Amino acid sequence: MDQPCETHAPDESRTPDVYAQAGVDVAAGNAAVARYRELLGAWRHPDQLDAIGGFGGVFRLPGDPRRALVASNDGVGTKLLIAAALKRYGSVGADLVNHCVNDILVVNASPLFFLDYLAVGRLDPAVAAEIVAGCADACRAHGCALLGGETAEMPGLYAANDFDLAGTIVGIVDVADIPDLSSVSPGDAIVGLPAIGLHTNGYSLARAVIPREQWDAPMPDGSGTYGDALLLPHPSYYEAVRAIQRVARVKVMAHITGGGLRENVPRTLPANVKAIFEQQRWRVPAIEHEIVRRSDMDAEQRYRTLNMGIGYTLVVPLADAARAIEAVPGANVVGWIEARTESEPPVVVHPARDAV
């Protein structure tokens, strides 16, 4: 349930939104979610529990009020168009499962089972099997049952080689272990887990500025082709988070997907604090540097559109920060928590001096 979240009113005098020009209107998504909340606010099931940030829906486990089920669903987005064009289908199923695992992990849930939905214009059994095998492998890695799914062939709605992929995950958590955003206080440290690429977000913009004829060309940094960089997997942060939790008190977490740091981190913070990030503390993947350069995105837009090198954040007491980053290779203290007044933004990012 990866919902966009408007953190402050847009400034119409800003640089034109390059993501909207590429076809994705984040403000429209925020407005749609606001309407959903109005529609759903009239009634709620008595066993439905509130969850921080809307990353997963929480439902008290029937017969055991001490535990709750956590559910989320999502898709891979227009990364699928790149996979289809390059005929490289093996990783997108794992992308989907890992994304969903990360979303319910924000609520501290462990995955129980997963269901996939594959819609195609023309069914190629070998391609479908390759996609679902990726889902199965990622489920197995998490001890999560691939309980079932749906494959729908819909010519007319999809072109012959087009497909869409989505999935639903259900996990479980002790109610006492659901993170409490009120525990966050000024002076806490923000630990960031690195992103290795776009993961499953920003691909409409990526395709707008990196055309198909360049996907087989080498990246400027020599790390592979543009196609390789665009199809880098969406990693699971499950084991990394559990390793940090064994040595540090984790107060809240956020999965950095659509909306970037600016819109995902505030979803798990109380209104009286703000998150301060210093981008010099982490590395931005080369493919994101290239997209920012080509699209001429300003600082506001890049941290609202892309993950910019951070795939997951955890807020921990400052005294626990050193143990937290020692527990996971690549983890860094990327920022801190300060007090916030009503007129201040909930997230402030200080770009590195050499940032694109």
CATH number of domain containing 144? 3.30.1330.10
Instruction: Determine, yes or no, domain membership for 147.
Output: yes
DSSP 225: B
CA distance 70 to 60: 9
Assigned token pair, 69 = 């089920």
Q: Could you tell me if 191 and 322 lie in one domain?
A: yes
pLDDT at position 215, please? 98
Please state whether 213 falls in left (phi above 0), alpha (psi between -120 and 50) or beta.
alpha
Judge whether 157 lies within some domain.
yes
Do 216 and 267 lie in one domain? The reply is: yes
Give the tens place of pLDDT for each residue, 82-120: 999 999 998 999 999 999 999 999 999 999 999 999 999
* pLDDT, tens digit, 9 for 90 and up, residues 2-12: 443 333 333 43
Question: Among 38-52, 57-71, 270-284, which stretch is predicted with the lowest mean pLDDT?
Answer: 38-52
The string of pLDDT tens digits covering residues 199-231 is 999 999 999 999 999 999 999 999 999 999 999
Q: Is 31 within the bounds of a domain?
A: no
209-231 CB burial, b ≥16 within 10 A, e <16: bbeeeebeeebeeeeeebbbbbb
Please tell me the predicted confidence (pLDDT) of residue 42: 72
> What average pLDDT does the segment 320-340 reach?
98
Mean pLDDT for the chain overall: 91
- Whether 116 and 249 map to the same domain: the answer is no
Residue 157 and residue 59 share a domain: yes
Helical spans, DSSP H, in 41-151:
79-86, 92-105, 125-141
Please state the pTM of the whole predicted model: 0.90
> Structural domain of residue 296, as residue ranges?
181-350
Same domain, 170 and 187: no
